[in-house]
Amino acid sequence: MTNGPGGGATSLFEALYDDENAVVRALRAGAPAESGDEEGTTALYLASVQDLPGVVRLLLAAGADPNRASGPEAGDLPLCGAACGGHAEVVEALLSAGARPDLSENLGFTALRWAAGLGHARVAEILLAHGADPDLPGRQGESPLVVAARRGSVRTVRALLRGGAGGLSPALEEARRMAGLDIERELRDGLRRAYGDGEHTSEVRRTRVDGGVTVTVELLRDGEPFAGQDLQTGHGAVATLLEAELGLRAPFGELALRALRGGGPGLDNWQVAVEALWQRGDEETFRAAAACTADPDPLRQAFGADVLARLGSPTGTGPGPFAARAVPLLRELARTADPLPAETAGRALARYEDAPGE
């Protein structure tokens, strides 16, 4: 094992910044696959954090240990570095080569803890498929499910639930708490606590990710970002999913509020709320949805229409139980001037061609 960058190790590290052919040449010339630089950082770790799956496979095939710790204090793991960056293909390669999914770094973070905390849902799915413990707590005793609930990543929470994660009640409490917060303000406050109110400006971005919205707040100095934080905004949907797992029933008004605050139609907060109400399929839910279609708020009208569309949907054996009463309400809503509820009602009506009253 080479601990310094002398000889072949130097050529290998230089090859990482070139291409895979250069890595092959360095390895064939005798550079050890386990090479480390003067700080103890391994070539495999660098390739993992830089999302170089082809190089990672070459190093693993040449004998690099996927479980070897890296860095000045030997506290960094290739699997954790890849998980932190959301590098799913690298994570898969490392696990296939024998990386231990639950091995923790010196700060107590496992790869799954990184993935859950940063909303890297695909990485979490891969880790769980390779046997990662969905309940292994981190250094502060929090389970991955609680961390994913705080993050607001619906897809990650779904993956953990499919993987058998327990501790649902603490995760639900965290999701409900986060659902009541202004995420942008929460991020700004966190950055202010960390960096003070110095001479800098801030910038906010909202990006569609995995069926939801990721809010990013960056601090800028001289127009260049120097710090930032981000969170996903699926906390309402996460709370609804966890309530369903626990057999709890949130009121219609609470589910509607989560949907309306959560970014609008097509996003997880909205879709999961509609799904939960459709599963109930009772008279109380129908009446509440019908009342929404008469609300002056176009967004609430659209939500009511979406719920009615599901409640009255034709089944395999005929019309849904609420079709006869849903269709007239949807027809009336389709004639409204506001395009959002009108288009939502129009799409719903398209599903009712054979419903009573057509």
Task: Report the pLDDT value the prediction gives residue 319, as an integer from 0 to 100.
Answer: 60
Judged by average pLDDT, the poorest of 8-17, 20-29, 151-160 is 8-17
Q: Are 311 and 289 in contact (CB under 8 A)?
A: yes
Give yes or no for residue 303 having a pLDDT over 90.
yes
More confident residue, 356 or 109: 109
Residues of the chain within CATH 1.25.40.20 domain(s) are 8-100
Compute the distance between CA of residue 157 and CA of residue 176 in angstroms, rounded to an integer. Answer: 14
What value does the mean pLDDT take over residues 86-92? 98
Provide CATH 1.25.10 ranges for the chain: 281-358
Q: What is the pLDDT of residue 4?
A: 40
Average pLDDT for 121-144: 94
C-alpha 22/C-alpha 29 separation (Å) is: 10
How far apart are alpha carbons 127 and 115 in whole angstroms? 9
User: How far apart (Å, rounded) are the C-alpha atoms in residues 235 and 262?
Assistant: 8
CATH node for 281-358: 1.25.10
Q: Taking the model in full, what pTM does it have?
A: 0.90
Q: What type of residue is 30?
A: G
> How would residue 7 be classed by pLDDT, with cut points 50, 70 and 90?
very low
What's residue 9's pLDDT? 65
* CB-based contact 328:357 (threshold 8 Å): yes
pLDDT over 90 (residue 52): yes
Classify domain 8-100 by CATH number. 1.25.40.20
How many Å separate Cα 54 from the centre of its chain?
A: 26
Q: Please state the separation of Cα 290 from the chain's center in Å.
A: 33
